[in-house]
Amino acid sequence: MLKAIETYLTLRRATGFAMQNAECLLKSFAAFAAERGQTHVHTQTAIDWAAIGPSVAQRDARLKAVCRFVRHVRVEDARHELPPANHFGARKTRRPPHIYSATEINRLNKAALRLRSKGGLRSLTYATLIALLSATGLRISEALKLTVADVTSDGLLIRETKFRKTRLVPLHDTAATGLKRYLARQRSRSDDDPVFSDERGRPLRYIAVRDTFNRLVSTAGIRPTAARRPRLHDLRHTFAVRALQGSPTGRGRCGAHMAALATYMGHVNIYATYWYLESTADLMRDVAAAGEEFICDGRQS
């Protein structure tokens, strides 16, 4: 079984997936099966191995890793049994995002510009970072990895993203101008230097950015809309929701808009983009209204 697992991992990595967690899980399962004298996947063995996971979510993830492997390997060897992927009944839940209003984003930027700095550009750095995240929907990890060379006349070159893809993110003229003005304020720098750096010129660390952002949320007086406080990542959610609210009418144009948004945001699967449709009450009302209008028009015709 190990040889088949290695072949599967090599193929998946060739298509851009890291497969680090999958490798650990599948090799653990292979060892578990070998102890039972099995060289092929058996449903009960897969369930027994997955059940070792300490939580329902982990058991579900373990079993699904085996299922994905079996779907691949059964093409050449039907002796592998495909376990029921939903055996443990796990259901993925997502935390409702905080959708920032334009006023709240302005208050965040003003709070950032009041940050204390020892002669550096800390306040401007955070204000520019927040503005860029709001205008592009970049993942915070993508923004912090940007180098001077990644800022091109055509947009931002996002290299080796979450799914090991590289994409070009065009910028609105106002965003491009603001970023260019920020870079001009910095000292002479090489192409390899980070766009967002601390006062010593080192790349900003996520933990420092997150903690500073949380303080800015409090300073700006932004109150949570749910049980938990607004997060840095919610700027990405906000961008996606605003983009969907501006979607053109018509099924064909709306579909093209959704596909373009998925590409722009670097989603490997368009289902990740569709989730934003149900993330806020406003969008759900829009979907319901569009569905009702579509059904009523069909009845009239």
pLDDT in tens, 57-99: 899 999 999 999 999 999 999 999 999 999 988 777 777 788 8
Residue 87, both tokens: 């055996």
Catalytic residues: 139, 162, 233, 236, 267, 276
Q: How confident is the model at residue 301 (pLDDT cuts 50, 70, 90)?
A: very low
Task: Give ranges for CATH 1.10.443.10 in the chain.
Answer: 102-230
User: What is the topology classification, in CATH, of domain 102-230?
Assistant: hpI Integrase; Chain A (1.10.443)
**Is the distance from CB of 279 to CB of 97 less than 8 angstroms?**
yes
Pick from 142, 153, 150, 181: nearest CA to 264: 142
Q: Residue 279 above 90 pLDDT?
A: no
Q: What percent of the chain has pLDDT over 70?
A: 80
Task: Provide the pLDDT for residue 103.
Answer: 94
**Is the distance from CB of 128 to CB of 179 less than 8 angstroms?**
yes
**Regarding predicted confidence, which is higher, 134 or 252?**
134
- State which amino acid sits at residue 104: E
pTM over 0.85: no
